[in-house]
Amino acid sequence: MSTERRPFTLDLSRPLSTADGTIEQRRGVLVGVERSADGGSVRGVGEATPLPGWTESYDACRGVLEDPPEAWEHVDDTVGAEPPSTPAARHGYRLAVLDAAARASRRSLAALLAERGGFSTPSESVAVNATVGDADAEETVAAAREAVDAGFDCLKLKLGARSLDPDLDRVRAVADAVDATIRVDANGAWDRESAAAAVDALAAIGIEYVEQPVPPEEVSALAALRGRGVDIAADESIRAYGVDAVLDAGAADVAVLKPMALGGPGAAIDAARRLVDAGVDPVVTTTIDGAVARAAAVHAAAAVPGDRACGLATGKMLASDLGTDPVPVVDGAITVPDGPGNVGGAFDDLLWD
C-alpha cells in the first residue's frame, strides 16, 4: 500500500466560542492510500485534523503519520478498551483505508460502516443541529433566529463560558423566541452543585439534553444528574475514558461520538454498537473538520440508527475548505453521498497529480 500526505490549514470564519476556549483555526493533514484491487488499483482519502484538548497535537499527529502502525492498514482493525493516544492521526489513516475498501466494493462508506456495526440499511439523510456559540442573550437569540430561518429545527447552545444565571437567561430567551428543539453543551464547566441547579432549570424550560455538564472525570456526577427531567449527554467523558467506562457508570442517556477524537469512523461505529445495545442514543458530531472528515462523519451518522439530530452542520464555520462541500446542509438536514466510498474521487486531485 502506498501513502501520500498533504498538510492544510483552514481558518474559521466565525470562531466558535465555548466554555473550553475559542476555536479559530483547524490545521491538519490529508492522507491518501493506494492499493491494488481487481487487477488495478484503488485509492482512499482520509483527513487528520487534530484539536488539542480533544486529540493529540498537530506535531504529534504529523509525526505518527510519517510512520503509521501497520495494524491501521487492516480494514477490520479496532481500538482497544483504552482510547487511542493519537486519535486524529488514526482517523486520517483509517478513513483512507475504509474509503479505499468501500470504493473497491463499489458501495458507500455508510453501507460499509452499517455492515461493520451490524446495523440495517443506512439512512439517506441525516438531521443536524445548528451550533450556537457563546454570546450575550441578544446575539444568541439573533443567531438562533437565523438558524431557524435557514431551516434548522434543532439548536445546540454553548453554555458555561459565563455564569449560570446569565446563561439560563440566554436559554430562556431563545426558547421564547424560536420554535425549535434546544440542547445545550456546557463543555464540563460546572461543579456538581451548579450542574444540579442548571439541570433543574433546564428541565423546566424543556431542553432536550445537557451535554457534558460536569468535567470529564466526574462520570459518577453525570450518572447522578440523570432522571431529573432532562437527558444527560456525555462528550468529553467518552473521549477521555471510552464508551465502556461511561456505560459501566450508567452515566448518560445520550453519547456524543466525534470520529476525529475517537480514532476514526470505524471506532465511532464500534462505540455506537455498544451504546445502542445498552439503550444509549449516539449523536455523531465533527470537531469542526474539513470537508473530507465532515463527509465521513455524515456517513457514520447515517449508519447509526436513531433520530436525534447530529452535530454535523459545521462546514459554514470555515472561511475556506478542502474543496466544494460534498455534504451541504439544506433545511436542517444533510443528504448522505451515495457514490462509492466517502465522496468518490472528489478529493483525489489534492493528493495525486
Q: Would you say 235 is a known binding-site residue? A: yes
Q: Is there binding between residue 133 and ligand 164 (CB under 6 A)?
A: no
Are 218 and 194 contacting, i.e. CB atoms less than 8 angstroms apart?
A: no
- Among the listed residues 43, 103, 116, 158, the single catalytic one is 158
User: Rounded to the nearest whole angstrom, what is the least distance from the CB of residue 312 to ligand 164 in the complex?
Assistant: 7
Are 45 and 347 contacting, i.e. CB atoms less than 8 angstroms apart?
A: yes
User: Rounded to the nearest whole angstrom, what is the least distance from the CB of residue 199 to Mg ion in the complex?
Assistant: 16
Q: Which of residues 272-311 bind ligand 164 (CB under 6 A)?
A: 285-288, 311
Could you give the CA distance from residue 180 to residue 153 in angstroms, rounded to a whole number?
5
Could you give the CA distance from residue 43 to residue 351 in angstroms, rounded to a whole number?
10
Q: Is 97 helix (H, G, I), strand (E, B) or coil?
A: helix
Is 258 one of the catalytic residues?
yes
Q: Is there binding between residue 208 and Mg ion (CB under 5 A)?
A: no
Q: Is there binding between residue 235 and ligand 164 (CB under 6 A)?
A: yes
Of 108 and 131, the one with the shorter C-beta distance to ligand 164 is: 131
Give the residue ranges of DSSP H helices in the chain. 58-66, 87-104, 109-117, 137-149, 164-177, 192-205, 219-225, 236-241, 243-248, 259-262, 265-277, 291-303
In degrees rounded to 5, what are phi and psi of residue 191? -80, 175
Q: Would you say 211 is a known binding-site residue? A: yes
Q: Would you say 185 is a known binding-site residue? A: yes
Q: Is there binding between residue 129 and ligand 164 (CB under 6 A)?
A: yes
- Among the listed residues 62, 94, 258, 299, the single catalytic one is 258
Of 184 and 346, the one with the shorter C-beta distance to Mg ion is: 184
- C-alpha cell read off for 152: 434548522
Nearest Cα neighbor of 273 from 305, 311, 297 is 305
H-helix or E-strand containing 140?
helix 137-149
Name the residue number minimizing CB distance to Mg ion: 235
Q: Which of 20, 167, 211, 289 binds Mg ion (CB under 5 A)?
A: 211
Could you give the CA distance from residue 180 to residue 150 in angstroms, rounded to a whole number?
12
Name the residue number minimizing CB distance to ligand 164: 311
Q: Which residues carry a binding-site annotation? A: 185, 211, 235
Which residues form the interface with ligand 164 (CB under 6 A)? 18, 20, 129, 131, 156, 185, 187, 235, 285-288, 311, 314
Q: Which residues bind Mg ion (CB under 5 A)?
A: 185, 211, 235
What is the set of active-site residues?
Answer: 158, 258
